[in-house]
Amino acid sequence: MAAAINIYQGAEIPAFLAKLQSRRMQVSAEVTAAVNEIISRVRERGDSALYDYALKFDGADLSKLGMWVPQEEIAKAAQRLDADLRNVIREARRNIERFHLKSLPQSWFSWEEDGIVLGQRVVPLERIGVYVPGGRAAYPSSLLMGVVPAQVAGVKEIIIATPCDALGKVNPTILAAAFELGVEKVLRVGGAQAIAALAFGTQSVPKVDKIVGPGNIYVATAKKLLFGQCGIDMMAGPSEVLIIADESAEAAFVAADLLAQAEHDPLAAAILLTDSPSLAAQVKEEVARQTEKLTRSEIIQSSLNGYGGIILTGSMDQCVDICNEIAPEHLGLHVQNAWEMLGQIRNAGAIFLGSYSPETVGDYWAGPNHILPTDGTARFFSPLRAEDFLKTSNVIAYSKSALEKHGKKIVRFANSEGLGAHTQAITIRMKS
């Protein structure tokens, strides 16, 4: 089945961008109500609610099978894993570790005059949950991207939550990846109910400090509603790629990158920005040709019909302006001056420079995280980092002489706000 992608230009561009904007964080009242009900039931009934939902949604009787994947089952999955894939997972893990170690912040202290010590103490979170999707496809790569930065940060306890089938079985590659990373706790519960269980805790599931990882609209809505009960990584929506390409780009490469994103989900967005009419036409032809050989062509066509498109602009500057407005999750720069253009990009989750840096490299191998801000949230969210599993405490130590030196100024400030007890906390020490 060949897939078609539309070309938009001139007056058609604002309408297409408005359509793309309408996709952002679309959560129906029905979804929100359903998720709120799930959250309430899990909070009130704990394990009992999880058993009910597992039977309802997955057909699994976890009251008999248990909510946790047995250790021997995890070990067997690792033993059965293809040796080549095991080596690939191990090397990918090393790449992810190396990247995240480079940005890890450290505690620091500064000794000032008069015996003043100021600083910041950095400590890891105690326990986190990593959600790994298991719907249309299972993503062991997302397990690595969620778990490895947490391990780099020094998190003591990591729980993986992922859906199971009617027999209680979890995707064996996910289990094998968990084994390779040394994660022993795999909760075979998915959906909003898994997020609620991790956020509140149940009789069997301990409460976590933070939940990370991608999921469907129910998972994303649950994370949003439970933010504050625990931390989350970001507000995630359907995946997206935007490519800026000039006349030097290879049409086959551009089309392949668009299709790699479109096959994720019918709601995924795959967009090309170019000022070259000839490239636009070539990419359109390549999309049709390449999809004839792909197994997920129906999903691709749904994605391209909904939120895919080729935007033909009047200049590269216009391409950059539209890109910064969209703030894409993935951005590919298939242009001659990619490093120069990089300086003009303000909003993007991950940026892939040059024709030989496809998004797939970032998804599986390079090291930077593939858990990225979507739906335009790259304007204010960042990719998942080791820093996201750390918290800081400010450290302040004043000597008696330092307090006496600065006390009157502090009192004046406190008095200006009418806070007498604050003033007293200073003056009582100065009197002594």
Supply the residues annotated as catalytic. Answer: 329-330
| Backbone φ and ψ of 118, nearest 5° | -125, 150
Task: Report the distance separating Cα 262 and Cα 415, nearest Å.
Answer: 61
Cα pseudo-dihedral 256, 257, 262, 264, rounded to 10: 110
Alpha helices in 182-308 (DSSP H): 191-200, 217-226, 251-262, 277-291, 297-307
Structure tokens at 101: 């170690």
Classify the phi-psi angles of 395: left when phi > 0, otherwise alpha if psi is within -120 to 50, otherwise beta: beta
Residue carrying the six token digits 């609610």: 49
> 117-124 and 108-111 as β-strands: parallel, antiparallel, unpaired?
antiparallel
Task: Report the distance separating Cα 244 and Cα 178, nearest Å.
Answer: 37
10 Å CB burial of residue 325 (0-12, 13-18, 19+) is: middle
Give the H or E element holding residue 394: strand 390-397
Provide the 3-class DSSP secondary structure of residue 384.
Answer: coil
Strand partners, 405: none
Q: Which DSSP category does 392 fall into?
A: E
Provide the 3-class DSSP secondary structure of residue 296.
Answer: coil
Half-sphere exposure for 290 (CA within 13 Å, toward CB): 20
Compute how many other C-beta atoms are within 10 angstroms of the C-beta atom of residue 428. 9
Would you say 138 and 173 are in contact if contact means Cβ atoms under 8 Å apart?
yes
| Helical axes 251-262 vs 277-291, angle rounded to 10° | 50
Task: Report the distance separating Cα 51 and Cα 425, nearest Å.
Answer: 53
Cα pseudo-dihedral 400, 406, 409, 410, rounded to 10: -50
Q: Find the farthest-apart pair of alpha carbons in the chain and give their distance in angstroms, rounded.
A: 85
